[in-house]
């Protein structure tokens, strides 16, 4: 058996982008979470949430909202301006909203 789980706690850097369900494709929410590491450094984690949960959380995944995301990590390497770069993506299956309410509506039930 293989299993890998990661948790990221931080604030959303911009309102999430949503892609509606289409045919056999599930709804998708894409957003980035800034995780402060305590030494004035920040790690940016790209999060991708699919399915019914993405649709239900649409109005709550807004810039500045604190979230706890749990999922499976993925990394990719690429070149930008002839310099090696890397990105970290979290294929998220659970999102918990922080207690501060900066959402565009009431907190979900």
| Cβ atoms of residues 10 and 45 within 8 Å | yes
Strand spans (E) along 15-109: 17-19, 28-36, 42-50, 66-80, 83-97
Place of tokens 């931080």: 10
Nearest to 104 by CA among 62, 67, 53: 62
11-68 pLDDT tens trace: 999 999 998 877 767 889 999 999 998 888 998 999 999 988 998 998 999 999 999 9
The domains of the chain, with CATH numbers, are 6-97 (2.40.50.140)
52-65 pLDDT tens trace: 899 899 899 999 99
Inter-CA distances, 9 with 1, 24, 44, 45, 88, Å = 27, 31, 11, 10, 14
pLDDT of residue 33: 95
Tokens of 37: 């590491």
């Amino acid at each position: 058996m293989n299993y890998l789980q990661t948790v990221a706690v931080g604030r959303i850097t911009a309102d999430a982008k949503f892609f509606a369900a289409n045919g056999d494709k599930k709804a998708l929410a894409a957003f980035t979470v800034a995780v402060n590491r305590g030494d004035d450094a920040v790690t940016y984690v790209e999060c991708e949430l699919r399915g019914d949960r993405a649709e239900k959380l649409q109005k709550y995944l807004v810039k500045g909202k604190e979230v706890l995301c749990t999922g499976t990590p993925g990394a990719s390497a690429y070149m930008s301006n002839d310099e090696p770069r890397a990105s970290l993506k979290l294929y998220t299956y659970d999102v918990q909203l922080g207690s501060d309410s900066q959402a565009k509506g009431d907190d979900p039930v």
